[in-house]
Amino acid sequence: MATLYLGHRFLAPLTKTFLWEVADSTLRKIWTKLVAQTIRYLGRLNNTFRQTTVGWSDYSKKVT
């Protein structure tokens, strides 16, 4: 779960692509089953990783 949660934000440049839609849908389904303690933990874990937008490309307009 932690891998999917943290990896989700790194897929942001792929928004509106098939890969993004599958990952987002999966994360949303799992999220509804988590207990509050786990959600808080993931939120804290999220703050331990630094993410930049260097090298990002917007693929949303390339979706066919």
Phi then psi for residue 30, to 5 deg, are: -70, -40
In one letter, which amino acid is 39?
I
pLDDT, one tens digit for every residue, the chain (64 residues): 777 777 777 787 888 888 888 888 988 898 888 888 888 888 887 777 766 666 667 767 776 6
Q: How far is CA 42 from CA 3, 49, 51, 53, 60, in A?
A: 10, 11, 16, 21, 27
**Domain of 16, in residue numbers:** 2-50+57-62
Number of domains in the chain: 1
